[in-house]
């Protein structure tokens, strides 16, 4: 992830995280996946997203805590070498066992192949790219089934792809098999308009860059996550805001995030305003969770 606006240096407690080849984590990859989800929601302020200080009336901090715990079983499946699709569907099914609905669908979609790669001692962009390239048609079918567990806001499919609208869930299975589309293929069709899918096709570029940034920031990890989130939001318009609102709103949010970073706007007031306007930069939060996972696997201390 790009767009840092300061050059804070790491302390001795975080030096290990700056070495991409280091894997000094005292936790398993599945545990780090769960912890990444917890640290992401604990960071504050995160304009437009649920955090320790801000909630939506029907989507609360506790729902994200429960969602993270619920996703753990699917992440453990990925770590054990189960298929990405089955692991992802299991994680989403567990995530959805709380009353808030969709809390971390996109984050889990990023974490599942990352956990699988880390468990194979390949916590790198090349490593996760190999996991993505190996996904199958069966993985794609599982991905579609995951949409039956929780309501997810998505863009309309491209022309000619109505039979493959993810909102059809398992009903799209025959069309997926007929076209022989792997889960990697499905992500490629959405990469132009969806930031999470774009991570899949780019070797998780922004996720690993955010992990690099976490390593050189100071303070408790959730505070660093909040800062890295804001920098990422200022660097690139959030695709989820574009889908749920419009491109102009996404650009406004990006420009104002940059104003916060340059101390021309109050971050807490901006965060509260976005909650009130129901503008949720969810893709940026998802990538923040993925970056946290990479940093935790590298051994960043908590």
Q: For 14, which DSSP code?
A: G
Do 132 and 198 touch, CB atoms closer than 8 A?
Answer: no
Torsion, Cα 201 88 183 152, to 10 degrees, reads: -80
Q: Work out the average pLDDT over 179-206.
A: 96
Percent of the chain with pLDDT over 70: 92
* List of residues 6+ apart from 107 with CB closer than 8 A: 36, 37, 40, 285, 286, 289, 290
Residue 75 vs residues 146, 186, 217: alpha-carbon distances, Å? 14, 21, 27
Whether the pTM exceeds 0.95: the reply is no
> Which residue's structure tokens are 């132009």?
192
Q: What is the pLDDT of residue 162?
A: 86
Number of other CB atoms surrounding residue 95 within 10 Å: 31
* List of residues 6+ apart from 30 with CB closer than 8 A: 72, 75, 76, 78, 79, 115, 119
Q: What is the pLDDT of residue 12?
A: 32
Higher-confidence residue: 22 or 227?
A: 227
Percent of the chain with pLDDT over 90: 87
CATH number among 1.20.1630.10, 1.20.950.20, 3.30.70.1380, 1.10.4200.10, domain 12-298 = 1.10.4200.10
């Amino acid at each position: 992830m790009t767009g840092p606006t300061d050059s804070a240096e790491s302390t001795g407690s975080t030096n290990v995280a700056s070495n991409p080849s280091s894997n000094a984590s005292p936790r398993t990859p599945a545990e780090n996946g769960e912890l990444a989800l917890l640290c992401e929601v604990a960071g504050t302020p995160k304009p437009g997203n649920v955090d320790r200080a801000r909630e939506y009336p029907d989507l609360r901090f506790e729902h994200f805590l429960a969602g993270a715990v619920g996703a753990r079983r699917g992440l453990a499946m990925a770590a054990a070498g189960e298929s990405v699709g089955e692991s992802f569907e299991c994680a989403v099914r567990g995530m959805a066992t709380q009353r808030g609905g969709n809390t971390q669908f996109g984050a889990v979609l990023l974490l599942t192949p990352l956990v699988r790669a880390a468990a194979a001692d390949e916590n790198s962009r090349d490593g996760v790219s190999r996991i993505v390239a190996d996904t199958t048609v069966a993985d794609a079918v599982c991905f579609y089934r995951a949409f039956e567990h929780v309501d997810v806001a998505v863009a309309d499919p491209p022309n000619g792809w109505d039979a493959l609208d993810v909102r059809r869930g398992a009903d799209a299975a025959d069309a997926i098999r007929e076209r022989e589309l792997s889960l990697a293929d499905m992500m490629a069709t959405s990469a132009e308009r969806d930031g999470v899918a774009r991570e899949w096709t780019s070797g998780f570029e922004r996720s690993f860059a955010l992990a690099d940034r976490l390593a050189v920031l100071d303070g408790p990890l959730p505070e660093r996550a909040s800062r890295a989130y804001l920098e990422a939001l200022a660097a690139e318009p959030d695709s989820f805001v574009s889908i749920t609102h419009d491109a102009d709103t996404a650009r406004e949010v990006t420009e104002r995030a940059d104003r916060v970073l340059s101390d021309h706007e109050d971050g807490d007031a901006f965060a509260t305003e976005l909650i009130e306007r129901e503008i949720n930069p969810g893709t940026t939060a998802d990538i923040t969770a993925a970056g946290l996972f990479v940093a935790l696997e590298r051994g960043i201390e908590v």
